[in-house]
Amino acid sequence: MPRSLVGRLIAILALLLAAAVAAGFVMVSLFQQSAAARIGQAGAVAGQSCGAVARAYRVASAGGADPDLAAVVASALGDKPGIEGGLWRAGGGPLAYGYPTYEGGAPKTDVPQAESARIADAVAATLAEDHSRLARFDARSETLLIATCPVSGPLPGLSAWTMTRVHSFSGGTYAQLMAGLAILSASVVGATVLAGLLAVTWARHVARIEAAFAATAGDDLPRLPATGERELDRIVLALNDAGRRLAGSRERTGALSRQVAEAERLAAVGRVAAGVAHEIRNPIAAMRLKSESALRGGDERRVQALGLVIAQVDRLDRLVGRLLAVAERDPPRLRDVPLAAFLAECAAPHPDGAVSAAPGTPATARFDPDQMRRALDSLVANALQAGGAPVEIAAARDGDRLVLAVSDRGPGPPDDIAATLFEPFVTGRPENAGLGLSIVREIARAHGGGVEFARHGGATTFRIVLPCPAS
């Protein structure tokens, strides 16, 4: 079954054409059978008429009378429409002829010259065989029937004959055939025209709908106009209704997204504020305590208090620096970096062997070495603080990505903070500010990548994943 409307219309037209051809064949066959029946009926009438002429002659010539042969023929054929005939004597030719039902202006009194030879041959065959015969001569538009029968009487070699014509392409049956074929042809042509108009109309409407969708920017559904086709307009109305529902859903989704984003922003601000307050409160409390003690003590105690105040100020300065590192997001300065030398530099500050660079690294990669060194230093520092030595730094390609990994043997972060591990001020150690991993995430995002961690086989691995297409 064709899957397109045009294909289905063509299939329907093909079936209609086949049905029309079959119906036409049946009609022609019936007409031919009707013509054959009419020829058979005409032949029977011609034979009966010939017998009527022979009987009329025998009656008229009974008792030795000399009848008027033309009157005998006319009386015998007077009630036989379309039948002409007469009496024919072998060797003598026609003795009488009559066509009393002739519809012309003047009566016919002469034997048709065109059929004289055929009549003579038929009479000769009848007299030779001494029984009635029916000769049939088929032409393109008519069939000629000549009936002959021997006549007994005072004249030897006498035969009666009658003749009629059956027209093949005339009469009521032929008119019915032509009318039926004309109706069939008109039906096929009309169906073809209607199917063509339907296919063209639907194709034009579908093209307009496609153009409306193509001209619509974004993911919104266009507002489609009615086509005037009832079935197609049902689809158009359904699409318009779906577009309205989609637009409403997007508006609601956008509003919910803005609400969620606002809530997340407020939550993040709250976490940052709480973290900053916590980190600042401890140094301030320590400085206040030492300052009050210094006011009550002597010079030596004041010197000790000032030293502690300076240390706490340095702690606050480092905290502010880390906060700025999270917030500023300087764009990375990308360049080709030899990876083996870069990893060795990252491991160099730890000469006791606690940190090592894995062998077999790729030759080069493109990133900002200063930012990436800060990220790796933060991951290494976290690993060492968690007691995860030895720590290994590795680099490897994963398809079109570069993976910088820091692995240690420590327990890794607690499960309760795994979901928010890379948020600011999230930490599993009270003495830690919780900004290192958030800085690592921001550096990775600035390079178009990300950061992830996993535990496997007693090891904890943090992976910085960067885009790195093959050169």
The arithmetic mean of pLDDT across residues 296-323, rounded, is 70
- Position 276 scores a pLDDT of 61
Please, what's the b/e burial string for 74-95 (b: 16 or more CB within 10 A of its CB; e: otherwise)?
bbbbeebebbbbbbbbbeeebb
Residue 461: alpha-carbon gap to chain centroid? 50
Q: Choose from 20-29, 268-277, 323-332, 447-456 the range with maximum mean pLDDT.
A: 447-456
Q: Cis ω on the peptide bond leading into residue 390 (within 30° of 0)?
A: yes
CATH number of the domain enclosing 434: 3.30.565.10
How does the average pLDDT of the chain come out, rounded? 81
Q: Is 103 among the domain residues? A: yes
The arithmetic mean of pLDDT across residues 230-251, rounded, is 84
**What is the CB neighbour count within 10 angstroms for residue 100?**
17
**What is the CB neighbour count within 10 angstroms for residue 258?**
10
Number of domains making up the chain:
2
Q: Write down the pTM of the prediction.
A: 0.41
Residue with tokens 């065959």: 125
**CA quadruple 198, 199, 203, 205: dihedral, nearest 10:** 10
Instruction: Tell me which of 127, 158, 174 is where a domain ends.
Output: 174
Q: Is 216 among the domain residues? A: no
Integer Cα distance of 190 and 203 in angstroms:
20
Instruction: Tell me which of 115, 145, 174 is where a domain ends.
Output: 174
Integer Cα distance of 68 and 272 in angstroms:
143
Q: Is residue 222 a contact partner of residue 248, using CB atoms and an 8 Å limit?
A: no
Q: Per-residue pLDDT tens for 271-293?
A: 666 656 656 666 676 677 767 77
Q: Is 183 among the domain residues? A: no
Q: Is 203 among the domain residues? A: no
The arithmetic mean of pLDDT across residues 212-229, rounded, is 77
pLDDT greater than 80 at residue 56 = yes
3-state secondary structure of 186: helix
CA dist 81 → 42, 64, 163, 270 (Å): 11, 31, 11, 120
3-state secondary structure of 319: helix
Q: Which residue range forms the structural domain that includes residue 453?
A: 332-467
Q: Is 302 among the domain residues? A: no
Q: Is 244 among the domain residues? A: no
Instruction: Tell me which of 157, 174, 191 is where a domain ends.
Output: 174
Residues in CB range of 214: below 8 A, 6 or more apart:
none
The arithmetic mean of pLDDT across residues 12-35, rounded, is 79
- Position 125 scores a pLDDT of 93
- Position 247 scores a pLDDT of 81
Q: Per-residue pLDDT tens for 58-92?
A: 888 886 668 888 899 999 999 999 999 999 998 88
Q: Is 65 among the domain residues? A: yes
CATH number of the domain enclosing 25: 3.30.450
Q: Is 113 among the domain residues? A: yes
DSSP string of 27-87, one letter each residue: HHHHHHHHHHHHHHHHHHHHHHHHHHHHHHHHHHTGGG----HHHHHHHHHTT-TT-EEEE
